[in-house]
Amino acid sequence: MTKIAKIVKSASQLQLNEQGELTHLLTLEGLSKEHIFHILDTAKQFVAVSESDREVKKVPLLRGKNVFNLFFENSTRTRTTFELAAKRLSADVVNLDIQTSSTAKGETLLDTIDNLVAMQADIFVVRHKTTGAAVEVAAHVPPHVHVINAGDGTNQHPTQGLLDMYTMRHFKEDFTKIKVAIIGDIVHSRVAKSNIHALTTLGCPEIRAIGPESLLPKDLNMMGVKIYNNIEEGLKDVDVVMTLRIQKERMEAGQVPEGDEFFKQWGLTSERLKLAKPDAIVMHPGPMNRGVEIDSEVADGPQAVILKQVTFGIAVRMAVMSIVAGN
Amino acid sequence: MSAENLPHIPFAEDLYQTLLQQLKQQQSLGNKFELAGLASGGAWVAERLAKDLGLPLYGVINVSFHRDDYAEKGVKAFNSAEGMSTKLPFDVEGAHVILVDDVLDTGRTVRAALNELFDYGRPAKVDLAVLADRHRRQLPVDATFKGAKVSVADDQILVLDQADDGQFLFTTETK
């Protein structure tokens, strides 16, 4: 077993307590259908908290709890939605600015965690460039402390996967009747991996990966994903189109053609979108590069649900935090 | 134990008719009110009351967010509301709201319902209407309108069922 495979195996076990309940959220790989639906059902209740007729857009479930956002990698959307979710649950939230923290001065990750546990931390939201960082934290903390993985390296981004599942369920209802196409940089995308694991667990009969060979992982076939090196073929008759951000570093490293050329071959345009089902939805985890992986006309068009994903993301993160903190 | 010695299970239909008469009397006195049923049993009762009282709409209150047993049970307690979210299709501000539930027991659910209701505005007056009052209060709460006081064995919970024709039935389950 490789080192990463070990981490993944322990992650799916570590996130459950002795009763089999979710006490951390580290990975969607190996997370059961029942757990995923429980999170999605709970999130549905939380969507109502931000509805306009409710004057007090806050509930007291996590009153008196301390949530620490530990973002060792930059993120605006994910960090902000976690912060909002925690605040809507009445938790006290501390955002650690890692660039200027002790970690930058050489303190180890686990020393930082110990210090924050001594400050009565209840939940850690961890984003880190290293695969398995959140797992390491979860294995280290005392049992009353909960850890949520907000993205580790190129491995997992479980809350993004869950909010994508929430969005697909909201618009398409039944996972067992939809075809989902994921386009772009799948090999480096923790979002794509989390989505593929969740879709497989939920019984999605057809998951397609579309992109240049250099950006598709070698083991996709083993995961039951169909590979398309031609975007037109891959989009035919799908219900959900998920575009992924193409990172500039990949272009600079010569792994994919630069800007315009990438768009010509792999960009999602209105013309190409017409190949999908007429009521197909277009998703993107953000941040978008307009004119690179997606055309503005599509991003702002009637089939795009990209901003809905952001809104649902708050409710899904409220659900995850209130579930793990209660177990 | 013979059948005669079993604790008496109240007839929900009789209790419903008694409650309906009390609310009809309020109407005949010219009192205007809005109904808000506590999910899920209370919401069924509110739905039928609204129909029988000729009210165009009724609200639903899900108390999950304000339950006091989250630390003990976590969100598992959410399941009892069967996915019904709070929906109050009237202006809570300044309204006379009658909360409706199937069973009043410890009073804790009603406390949570009041908190949920007040998240939507400041009502002028709140009353409580229940089918059955088990009278084992742990909080200073009482019902303004009730079908009847009932006594059920302590280890039993009263569960409301609604048949396809709308008729109510209480059954008991062991805790």
The pLDDT value recorded for residue A239 is 98
The pLDDT value recorded for residue A146 is 98
Least confident window among A52-61, A94-103, A147-156, A317-326: A94-103
CB A59 within 8 A of CB A89: yes
Tens-digit pLDDT profile for residues A101-112: 666 666 788 999
At A243, phi and psi to the nearest 5?
Answer: -95, 150
pTM score, two decimals? 0.90
The pLDDT value recorded for residue A309 is 97
Q: Which CA distances in Å does A53 have to A49, A50, A257, B63, B112?
A: 9, 9, 49, 17, 19
CB B41 within 8 A of CB B26: no
The pLDDT value recorded for residue B135 is 84
The arithmetic mean of pLDDT across residues B157-169, rounded, is 93
The pLDDT value recorded for residue A5 is 60
Higher pLDDT, A301 or B8: A301
The arithmetic mean of pLDDT across residues A204-222, rounded, is 91
The pLDDT value recorded for residue A102 is 61
CA nearest to A47 within chain B: B85
Least confident window among A71-75, A255-259, B34-38, B135-139: A255-259
CA nearest to B90 within chain A: A53
Rounded to the nearest integer, the mean pLDDT of chain A is: 92
The pLDDT value recorded for residue B81 is 67
The pLDDT value recorded for residue B5 is 47
User: How confident is residue B8, by pLDDT bands cut at 50, 70 and 90?
Assistant: confident
Q: Say how far apart CA A297 and CA A304 lie, in whole Å.
A: 10
- High-pLDDT (> 90) share of chain B, %: 80
Q: Which CA distances in Å does A323 have to A61, A318, B104?
A: 10, 8, 28
Cβ neighbours of B119 in A, within 8 Å: 54-56, 59
CB A146 within 8 A of CB A176: no
Q: Of A44, A60, A327, which is closest to B74 when you measure between CB atoms?
A: A327
Among residues B61, B161, B43, B172, which one has the least CA distance to residue A45? B61
Least confident window among A29-38, A67-76, A173-182, A227-236: A67-76
CB A323 within 8 A of CB B75: yes
Tell me, rounded to whole angstroms, the distance of Cα A254 from its chain centroid. Answer: 27
Q: Of A44, A48, A326, which is closest to B74 when you measure between CB atoms?
A: A326
User: How confident is residue B1, by pLDDT bands cut at 50, 70 and 90?
Assistant: very low
CA nearest to A52 within chain B: B120
Tell me, rounded to whole angstroms, the distance of Cα A117 from its chain centroid. Answer: 26
Contact B75 A42 (CB under 8 A): yes
How does DSSP classify residue A285? -
Among residues A202, A122, A116, A150, which one has the least CA distance to residue A317? A150
Least confident window among A108-112, A209-213, B106-110: A108-112
The arithmetic mean of pLDDT across residues B124-149, rounded, is 96
Q: Which CA distances in Å does A152 have to A106, A133, A318, B9?
A: 20, 6, 20, 56
Tell me the one-letter amino acid at A80.
T
Cβ neighbours of A45 in B, within 8 Å: 62, 64-65, 78, 81, 83, 85
Higher pLDDT, B77 or A44: A44
Tens-digit pLDDT profile for residues A77-135: 899 999 999 999 999 999 987 765 666 666 788 999 999 999 999 999 999 989 999 99
Cβ neighbours of B81 in A, within 8 Å: 45
Would you tell me how many other CB atoms lie within 10 Å of the CB of residue B5? 6
CA nearest to B71 within chain A: A326
Cβ neighbours of B73 in A, within 8 Å: 326
User: B172: helix, coil or strand?
Assistant: strand
DSSP for A64-113, please give it: T-EEEEEESS--SHHHHHHHHHHHHTT-EEEEEEGGGSTTTTT--HHHHH
Is residue A282's pLDDT more than 80? yes
